[in-house]
Amino acid sequence: MKADPLDNFVNSAAPPVKIADSRVHDLTTAVQMRIDHLPSTGRIAFPPPSMPSVLPRYALPMATAALLGVLLGSAVLPQREAMAQRPPLLSLISATAPSQPLGF
Amino acid sequence: MLVLAQRVLGNAHDADEVVQETFLKVWSMASRWEPEGRAKFSTWLYRVVLNACLDRLRRMPMAPLDEVGELADRTPSSMDRALAQQRHHILIQAMAQLPPRQQTALSLHYFGEVSAPRAAEILNLSLSACEALLARGKKTLRKILAGMGINGLGDVL
């Protein structure tokens, strides 16, 4: 099989290398030490998720919650309005006043 | 990564520095890697190393080819060393002109000493697509080298 002249040129220009295990170990140690000594601001914090990526994930729960809010709110609203129109103490006084004098 | 860096840069000291810098960069920029994207982490890592090597090479001074013949020390070993350095620089200059995907594929193939199936895996390609990409890369590299006047080993020996 005829050798490719390009392969020959590349292998001649950048010959294969053998990396010793000790060199890999030294390099790993050096990297670990440099990471240990990085200032706390050296590591970029994970950015908050962007709105377009958040919206699809939360769109359905948010819509469901809004719908539930409207339904439950409309069911509860008349009772609350009635309570607001007549505070409990006033209701009690007005209900008891004609038949039972307060004793003065 | 160390093999890739040393073969691209041509010396152990610079290769060690580039790989160290790459690890630190990966540590500090991990959040920018998008796993949902097309590139696998290993592909991204190879490209970070390769780009760091090419950046460093661009900053290195390169002696013109004709100065090799005017070396004060004309012993065979020094001539060989100077010519080997020139061959290396020519190759890297040519590789730097390749389109990015062809550059990555050829770098993995030649410098990363990665098998074709592994290169295909790193590049997220089928084996046949990876081989086609390599073939296209070699064709482009031959054209670039021919444009630089290099058609074989004899042109820089």
Residue A104 lies in a domain: no
Residue A4: half-sphere exposure toward Cβ, Cα within 13 Å: 10
CB atoms within 10 A of CB B76: 7
> What is residue B25's predicted lDDT score, i.e. its pLDDT?
84
In the prediction, which pLDDT does A11 show? 87
- Residues 57-96 of chain B with CB under 8 A from chain A are 84, 87-88, 90-92
The verdict on residue A15 lying in a domain is yes
Structural domain that includes position A26? 8-38+62-95
The pLDDT value recorded for residue B19 is 92
Query: Does the beta carbon of A13 lie under 8 angstroms from any beta carbon of chain B?
Result: yes
- 8 Å CB contact between B68 and B79: yes
Quick check: B35 pLDDT over 80?
A: no
Residue from A4, A8, A9, A25 whose CB has the most chain B CBs within 10 Å, to mutate: A9
A101 vs A37, more confident: A37
How does pLDDT run across B53-65, given as a tens digit for each residue? 878 877 776 555 5
Tell me: the pLDDT tens digits for B79-102?
777 888 888 888 888 888 899 889
Answer whether residue B13 shows pLDDT above 50.
yes
Report the domain count for chain A: 1
**DSSP for chain A, written as a single string:** -PPPHHHHHHHHHS------HHHHHHHHHHHHHHHHTS-GGGSPPPPPPPHHHHHHHHHHHHHHHHHHHHHHHHHHHHHHHHHHHS-HHHHHHHHHTTTS----
Res B67: pLDDT: 52
Q: Answer whether residue A50 is part of any domain.
A: no
Nearest to B93 by CA among B83, B103, B101: B103
| Residues in chain B within 8 Å Cβ distance of A4 | 138
How far is Cα B154 from Cα B157, in angstroms, rounded to an integer? Answer: 5
Q: Is the pLDDT of residue B132 over 90?
A: yes
Nearest to B2 among A15, A24, A34 (CB): A24
A8-36: pLDDT as tens digits: 888 888 888 888 999 999 999 999 988 88
- Asked whether the beta carbons of B56 and B9 are under 8 A apart, the reply is yes
- Ordered DSSP codes for chain B: -HHHHHHHHSSHHHHHHHHHHHHHHHHHHGGG--TTSSS-HHHHHHHHHHHHHHHHHHHS----GGGGGG-S---HHHHHHHHHHHHHHHHHHHHHTS-HHHHHHHIIIIIS---HHHHHHHTT--HHHHHHHHHHHHHHHHHHHHHTT--SGGGG-
pLDDT at A1 over 50: no
ipTM of the complex: 0.73
* Interchain proximity B141–A42, CB inside 8 Å: no
Please indicate whether residue B130 or residue B78 has the higher confidence score (pLDDT): B130
Q: Hey, are the CB atoms on B16 and A27 less than 8 Å from each other?
A: yes
Q: Is residue A23 part of a domain?
A: yes
Residue B133: is its pLDDT beyond 70?
A: yes
Q: Read off the pLDDT of residues A40-97 as tens digits, 9 standing for 90 and up.
A: 654 555 555 556 665 666 777 888 888 888 877 777 666 555 555 555 555 555 555 5
* Residue A1 domain flag: no
Please, what are the domains in chain B? Answer: 2-156 (1.20.140)
Residue B36 pLDDT > 70? no
Q: What are phi and psi of B76, to 5 degrees?
A: -55, -40
| Domain-located, residue A3 | no
Nearest to B41 by CA among B78, B1, B92, B80: B1
Question: Which pLDDT value is given to residue A104?
Answer: 47
pLDDT for the residue A100: 53
Report CB contact under 8 Å: A14, B150: no
Looking at the complex, report in whole angstroms how far the Cα of residue B86 sits from the nearest Cα belonging to chain A.
8
